Amino acid sequence: MFLGDGMGLTTLVAARNYIDGEHTKLSFEEFPYTGLSKTYSVDKITPDSATTATAYLCGVKANYGTIGVNAHVGRDNCEAMRNTSNHVYSIAKWAMDAGKSAGFVTTTRITHASPAGVYAHTADRVWENNDDLEADCGPDNGLDDIAVQLIHGEVGSRLKVMMGGGKRNFFDKTIYSKGLRTDGRNLIEEYLEKSPRNAYVETREELANVDLSQIDRLLGTFSSNHMDYHLEAVANPSNTQPTLAEMTKKAIEFLEQDNEQGYFLFVEGGKIDLGHHSNKARMALDETKEFSETIAMARQMTSEEDTLIVVTSDHSHTFSVAGYQNRGSDIFSLRNSDVDGMDYSPLSYANGPSYSEYVNEKATQRIDPNLVLTGAAKDVFPATVPLSTETHGGEDVGVFASGPWSHLFTGVYEQNTIPHMMAYAACIGEGLKACDTLS
């Protein structure tokens, strides 16, 4: 499963032009079957990445801000989280229970909302370390934060591949200068002590040099926080972080040799979402391009006869593509308003932090976008309403499928249907299976 976090349909439209032109197709748009997923959560029309992860990984819609729990658990409800009957499990566990291997790759923190959906059960997505958890549930609460659940949890402790950013949530601040834990723990050391065949890497070079035949599990944290945007990484001569494609390639190679019974791999292009939240459209579109190229590589590395690939998004954003631009023009080019005579950007957001960059409230007029947009990677694009961070959008998102039983992914359906259809195709989980109908 490939998850383009925040990759709404307008992002796909703009990304085509960013890559080559409006006629271009992203790699997964070449897949033979497409559908639309309805993303609302139990309590919100427009969801976040936590409740959607529970939907597309665990097959259950839940409340905003919660992960791996059902709707009996409200956000920040420590006691409801404690009740294990409220926990729901992801397709990764279904796969491992059926004898397959499982893992995940992300460009965000490995304890962030989307990857946490693979293995965690929490009443609040921000409880990535003990300090954050204790702030809401008190000391000695008896609950495990997300990082602890990855290392010692029922699902996390069985995963074969775990790669991304987020090193800070695994170390006490007295052990690692950027550490956020306050319990004195070094969770990476605890992971390594579990087995001499547990490998840990922190750089692109270390990842490239891992001898997959000599290890049983692979954990990588390549940054303290989220990993860098691709545009920033390629511009940094001292960059030591692997690309999404490099992490995915290593993960597929490892999982394919690890288990003849097959595997489930979750890959998140997480910084599409973060680019949009900051109104940085160029960043978001470049992350979409990298995401597309990674999927093309994965499809080439695997067989369409025996490997189902599903590509989707958790939610959209308030990103808009408008303005009657000419065919073949640069997606970032400006148009001229027939009202105030000033240029405007056809790429814009309904809300977000860039509002003040484009509106002079004292003069009650717009600021010339030519003074704001310089062609730099970090350019911010216009927002209509001032907010500290741009919000998600509530519309349906695309689903693209290739491989066995990919025809199931057509039509319009609830987001929590996705893992059940994948499980049906893979003959895993407790529901109806394709192999049942064939026997």
Could you give the CA distance from residue 320 to residue 254 in angstroms, rounded to a whole number? 40
- C-alpha pair distances (Å), 291 with each of 67, 233, 367: 24, 15, 34
Catalytic residue status for 41:
no
Q: From residue 85, how far is each of 91, 149, 177, 394, 400 by CA, in Å? A: 18, 17, 38, 30, 33
Element (H, E) at 315: none
- Out of 27, 41, 49, 90, the active site residue is 49
Cβ atoms of 309 and 264 closer than 8 Å: no
DSSP-derived secondary structure for 374-435: -S-TT----EEEE-SSPPEE-S-EEEEEESTTGGGG-EEEEGGGHHHHHHHHHT-SSS--HH
User: Partners of 162 in the beta sheet?
Assistant: 104, 219
Instruction: Please give the span between the terminal C-alpha atoms of the chain, in angstroms, as a whole number.
Output: 27
Q: Which residues of 156-165 are buried (b: 16+ CB within 10 A; e: fewer)?
A: bebbbbbbbb
Rg of the chain over all Cα atoms, to the nearest angstrom? 22
Closest CA to 394 of 352, 347, 345, 350: 350
- Residue ranges of alpha helices (H) inside 75-220 are 78-82, 91-97, 113-116, 130-137, 146-152, 187-194, 204-208
> Please, are residues 275 and 283 in contact by the beta-carbon 8 Å criterion?
yes
The tokens for 360 are 């002079």
Tokens of 412: 């319009």
- Collapsed DSSP state (helix, strand, coil) of residue 281: helix
* Catalytic residue positions, numbered: 49
